[in-house]
């Protein structure tokens, strides 16, 4: 039997379409437990590569005969070797091209909807990392919000849509992944916007994003309105686009709320977080569609591959929005914090422009799931 490569794009389609797949992950157990390819219809077995070097005979009874089998490792090499061993035993097997590193970097564009003037809003879903970024297009101009470091994906996508990138925004100074916003602005000549409260230590020129800043895309009626919503960071800013969509950054997610401690100031920022969620958001229309900058679990992904839900629905369903007692809220936020993101301090310094790691180092810094939410 021959082995075949499965690309991250092909794997993403299986995730979105909820197709059945059996994953044999040959990384070490701690790496598998910390972070893996997730799909609602996937089954898994984790057997480290070093346990299979002398043969796969003991593994064979654990493998299905009625599902596609995908072998996964960190970079690709080990999965190819194991896949070949299984092929020699008569199995049709795939390996994940580029391994988990490639999976971590794949962006799946999903159209959210048309905008009022005939433009469109797109969400870029980074399934392997849980990051979400956005592109609003109108009158052949494009604005990008919370771009990842795979900046060429956005540049090529805008070109395919016949649009010129004119504005790039970050809702806050990210600590769990490296922003591509500044690099996109440098490559395209676009204006790069950042909340000044998060930019005291940056080394580059940016346009300060203040509360109630309004930016028009093209010459249309599509406006990006900034709403200062501190709590995850002191500068965290939400956007209302087209009077229909609320881009919440890392303040509010579909199933949780943002953590306030990535700058070491959890106790100081808890009250800001509560005021943003319980006062500023309460003043908005409940019909706004919430589009966050991250998702935590696959249950947050809709059938069309998007991550979105009405604000009014979240006021009912999201536990983090339904804690009346302020003391209880403070305890929930400060006592239920997951581990810090991998290399989060180095990521913050990279996003400040204070260090410039090479591409391979950036990949290593981002390995693992995002950890932006309160549990």
Residue 352 CA to residue 334 CA, distance in Å, equals 26
End-to-end CA distance of the chain: give it in Å, rounded.
45
**Which residue among 73, 234, 291, 301 is the active-site one?**
73
Reduced to 3 states (helix: H, G, I; strand: E, B; else coil), residue 70 is strand
Reduced to 3 states (helix: H, G, I; strand: E, B; else coil), residue 370 is coil
Q: In the structure, how many helices (H) and strands (E) does the chain have? A: 11, 18
Taking the CB of residue 44, how many other CB atoms lie within 10 A of it? Answer: 15
73 is catalytic: yes
- Tell me which long-range contacts 114-120 makes (C-beta under 8 A, separation of at least 24): 115/220, 115/222, 115/241, 115/242, 116/220, 116/221, 116/222, 116/242, 117/218, 117/220, 117/221, 117/222, 119/217, 119/218, 119/220, 119/222, 120/161
Burial track 10-43 (b if 16+ CB lie within 10 A, e otherwise): ebbebbbeeeebbbbbbbeeebbeebbbbbeebe
φ/ψ of residue 188, rounded to 5: -110, -10
Do 44 and 69 touch, CB atoms closer than 8 A?
Answer: no
Do 59 and 80 touch, CB atoms closer than 8 A?
Answer: no
For residue 213 the two structure tokens come to: 């800043």
Eight-class DSSP state of 280: I
Residue 258 CA to residue 344 CA, distance in Å, equals 15
Positions marked catalytic: 73
């Amino acid at each position: 039997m021959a082995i075949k490569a499965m690309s991250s794009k092909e794997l993403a389609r299986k995730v979105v379409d909820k197709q059945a797949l059996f994953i044999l992950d040959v990384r070490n157990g701690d790496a598998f437990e910390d972070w893996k390819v997730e799909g609602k219809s996937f089954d898994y077995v984790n057997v480290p590569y070093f346990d299979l070097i002398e043969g796969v005979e003991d593994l064979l009874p654990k493998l299905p005969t009625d599902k596609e089998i995908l072998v996964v490792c960190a970079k690709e090499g080990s999965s190819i070797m194991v896949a070949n061993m299984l092929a020699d035993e008569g199995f049709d097997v795939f390996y994940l091209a580029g391994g988990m590193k490639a999976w971590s970097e794949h962006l799946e564009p999903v159209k959210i909807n048309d905008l009022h003037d005939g433009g469109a809003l797109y969400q870029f879903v980074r399934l392997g990392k849980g990051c979400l970024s956005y592109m609003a297009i109108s009158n052949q101009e494009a604005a990008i919000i919370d771009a990842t470091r795979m900046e060429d994906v956005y540049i090529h996508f805008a070109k395919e849509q016949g649009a010129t990138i004119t504005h790039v925004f970050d809702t806050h100074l990210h600590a769990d992944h490296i922003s591509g916003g500044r690099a996109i602005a440098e490559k395209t000549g676009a204006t790069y916007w950042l909340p000044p409260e998060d930019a005291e230590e940056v080394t580059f020129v940016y346009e300060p994003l203040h509360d109630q800043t309004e930016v028009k895309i093209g010459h249309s009626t599509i406006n990006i309105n900034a709403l200062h919503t501190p709590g995850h960071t002191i500068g965290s800013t939400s956007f209302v686009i087209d009077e229909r969509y609320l881009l919440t950054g890392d303040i509010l997610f579909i199933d949780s709320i943002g953590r306030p401690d990535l700058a070491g100031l959890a106790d100081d920022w808890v009250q800001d977080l509560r005021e943003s969620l319980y006062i500023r958001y309460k003043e908005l229309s409940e019909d706004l569609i919430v589009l966050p900058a991250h998702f935590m679990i696959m249950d947050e992904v809709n059938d069309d591959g998007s991550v979105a839900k009405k604000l009014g629905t979240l006021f009912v369903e999201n536990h983090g929005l339904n804690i009346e007692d302020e003391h209880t809220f403070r305890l929930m936020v400060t006592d239920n914090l997951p581990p810090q993101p991998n290399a989060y301090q180095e990521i913050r310094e990279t996003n400040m422009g204070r260090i410039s790691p090479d591409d391979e180092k950036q990949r290593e810094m981002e390995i693992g799931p995002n950890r932006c939410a309160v549990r």
